[in-house]
Structure 1
Amino acid sequence: MDTDQLRMVDESKNIEVSDSDLESDSKGQLIKLAGKLRDRRNDLNQMASKRAGKRDELNAATREKVDEAQEHREKRDELNEQVQEHKQKRNELNAKANELFDEVEGRKSDLELDDGKGLEELEEEIEQLEFKQQTEVLSTEDERELIEKIENKREEYRTRQEKLEGNDDLEELVEEAEEVRSEASQHHQKVTELADQAQEHHNQMIEAYREADDIRDDADDMHEKFVEVQEAADQHHEDFVRVQKRLRELDKKEEKARKSNREQEREEAKEEAEEIYQKFKEGETLDTEDLMKLQKTGLL
């Protein structure tokens, strides 16, 4: 930044004019004083113009920052609206998924599929029991009990398998519930992403407003400096006008004095010519100078 725009007014260069100066100073002194006042006024006006220009630049930069902040505000609000839309959709889908899973659990309860062990676990137990029967030496009683246990497990496996095979729609219901839950998760992911973006725009908005405040402070400071210089320039202009007025008054006084002197000289010349003319009438001889004086006054 131009130092001329920031430096304080050097008051030592300012020129003060008192009423006594106007009354007592000679015309020559007043002419010099008017020149100094004019030059100082012009310097101050130039400095004021620079400061006004810088102030206007800062005010324009402030408006740009405010506009930037407003753009971030609008984008933030737009994203927050999208967040609310996805939240609403997510909540609706989660509610629907909960209903579907509740229905799944209800059907399982009706089919008693939640009681006992699953098919894979039953199948594994049967294999272990059959392996034991084939590899271990058992008493007749123990082997009979083992065979009976294997048969019970096989019967339980067949019963549960028949229940599941007869309820394909249950698997479809589970798939539907899982799909709805997955869709809800996607909306939740969008909520998170959009909320992060909205927060970023919010942060940028706050920063832009802060920068605008800082620039506005600089603009206000520059305006104060402009006013300071402009007031000094105006004061010098007023004093310049006062001096000019005083010079015109002196010019009028001088002109009046010159006019008065000319009239007095004409009156004195007329009186002298009349005296000469009277001598002429009385018969006195006139020299060339006397004759010229009579001609100037029109008496000859």
Structure 2
Amino acid sequence: MVSVTEEDLQNKSKGELIKLAGQLRDRRNELNQQASKRASKRDELNAKTREKVDEAQEHREQRDKLNEQVQEHKKKRNELNAEANELFDRVEQRKSDLELDEGKDLEQLKKEIEELEFKQQTEVLSTEDERELIEKIEAKRDEYQSRKEKLDQSDDLEELVEEAEEVRAEASTHHEKVTELADQAQQHHNKMIEAYREADDIRDDADEMHENFVEAQEAADQHHEDFVRVQKRLRELDKKEEKERKSEKAKEREEAKAEAEEIYQQFKEGETLDTEDLMKLQKTGLL
């Protein structure tokens, strides 16, 4: 850094001040170039910051749109699950009404009837035992027939079960969509956070570069002010020198005039003048 004090301005010679002014001017120009480069770099970093902020905003918008879709699919899924639950409740109620969950299935009853009939046909039984066996066979047949009639009445139950399963499947489809869209929304959220973090880092660099710009610009301004001070002092010295030259010339003219008047007086008194004296008289206009 080139500096100048008030003492320098008052005590340094004109030549020294001219040299100092040149140094101040050159350093000022260097600092102005530094400031310009730093301002350009700062502006470049600020532009990158804005790009990252814009990128983060785009991810935010995408995330919000996806979250809206997630809520829509959630709502539809919950509605369908509620509908499916209601249908399955009706299925259970229908089964309860038909008592289909109680007792044995038709194949099992048919097998038991066949076993009892085979026993009746192949074994020698007492009258009492055979009567009990016949009653048991009849009871099984009645149970078989009753259950068969109930199953014949349950055709609509299968349709109800099928409808409930279809609604549940549709709800599952919406649930899968919820999961898929939620994952995409999370990805955009993560990218948004990363973009904001990068924007903060770049902004910090831009702020630091701005501080460097201000430092260089202030130093350049200080050197310019000092340059102006030196230039002002040089002008003052020039004026002083000019004044001194004019004063010296005036003094010389006065002395020449006084000398010429003395020579002229000698001439009037009859003294002989040499060539040099005559030239002095002509120069002052006395001859």
TM-score (norm 2): 0.90
TM superposition shift of 1:295: 1.4
Q: Does 1:245 align with 2:232?
A: yes
The answer to which of 233-242 and 22-31 deviates more is: 233-242
- How many Å separate the matches in 1 of 2:278 and 2:140? 171
- 8 A contact 2:113–2:141 mirrored in 1: no
Quote how far apart the aligned CAs of 1:169 are: 2.1
Preserved CA contact (<8 Å) 1:66 1:208: yes
Q: Which amino acid letter does the alignment assign opposite residue 20 of structure 1?
A: E
Picking from 6, 17, 20, the partner of 1:33 is: 20
Query: Within 5 A, what are the aligned runs for 1:48-127?
Result: 48-118=35-105, 122-124=106-108, 126-127=110-111
Instruction: Please tell me whether residue 236 in structure 1 is matched to residue 236 in structure 2.
Output: no
Q: Distance in 1 between matches of 2:88 and 2:170?
A: 15
Q: Structure 1 228/171 Cα, relative in aligned 2: closer, same or farther at 3 Å?
A: same
1:22-63, CA deviations, whole angstroms, 9 ceiling, x for partnerless residues?
100000000000011111111111111111111111111111
Matched with 1:3 is none
In the alignment, which residue of structure 2 is the partner of 1:280? 267
Supply the distance in 2 between the matched residues of 1:203 and 1:141 (Cα, whole angstroms).
85
Q: How far is 1:223 from its partner?
A: 1.3
1:187 aligns with 2:171: no
Shift of the 237–148 alpha-carbon distance from structure 1 to 2, 3 Å rule, reads farther
Change (3 A) 1:148 1:292: farther
**In the alignment, is the contact (CA less than 8 A) between 1:59 and 1:219 conserved in 2?**
yes
Task: For 1:220, give the aligned amino acid.
Answer: D
Are 1:19 and 2:3 matched, yes or no?
A: no
Closer/same/farther in 2, CA of residues 113 and 262 from structure 1, 3 Å limit: same
The partner residue of 2:210 within 223, 226, 243 is 223
Distance 1:163 1:125, change over 3 A: closer
Separation (CA, whole Å) in 1 of partners of 2:101 and 2:94: 10
Following superposition, the deviation at residue 129 of structure 1 comes to 6.8
Q: Summarize the Cα distance change of 1:239–1:150 in structure 2 as closer, same or farther, 3 Å threshold.
A: farther
Structure 1 contact 123–157 (Cα < 8 Å) conserved: no
Equivalences for 1:120-269 in 2 at 5 Å?
122-124=106-108, 126-127=110-111, 130=114, 139-141=123-125, 152-153=139-140, 155-269=142-256
Q: Distance in 1 between matches of 2:116 and 2:270?
A: 188
Tell me the matched-pair count. Answer: 284
Q: Distance in 2 between matches of 1:254 and 1:156?
A: 141
> Deviations 1:72-123 (Å, cap 9, x if unpaired)?
11111111111111111111111111111111111221111221233xxx31
Q: Tell me how far 1:124 sits from its aligned partner.
A: 4.8
SS in 2 for 1:17: coil
1:74 counterpart letter in structure 2: E
Gaps of 5+ in 1: 1-13
Q: Which amino acid aligns with 2:233?
A: R
Q: Indicate how the Cα distance of structure 1 residues 112 and 133 shifts in structure 2: closer, same or farther if over 3 A, else same.
A: closer
The answer on whether the counterparts of 1:79 and 1:197 sit within 8 Å (CA) in structure 2 is yes
Q: Could you tell me the percent identity over the aligned residues?
A: 77
Report if the CA contact (8 A) 2:116-2:137 is conserved.
no
Contact 1:51 1:226 in 2 (8 A): yes
Letter in 1 for 2:41: K
TM-score of the aligned structures, taking structure 1 as reference length: 0.86
Structure 2 counterpart of 1:11: none
Rate the CA distance shift 1:146–1:198 in 2: closer, same or farther, 3 A. farther
Could you say which residue in structure 2 is the equivalent of 1:7?
none
* Paired residue type of 2:63: R
Q: Which runs of 5+ in 2 are unaligned?
A: none
SS in 2 for 1:140: coil
Q: Distance in 2 between matches of 1:150 and 1:218?
A: 96
CA distance in 1, matches of 2:52, 2:134: 87
CA contact (8 A) 1:54 1:222 kept: yes
> In the alignment, is the contact (CA less than 8 A) between 1:129 and 1:146 conserved in 2?
no
> Contact conserved, 2:31 with 2:216, CA < 8 A, in 1?
yes
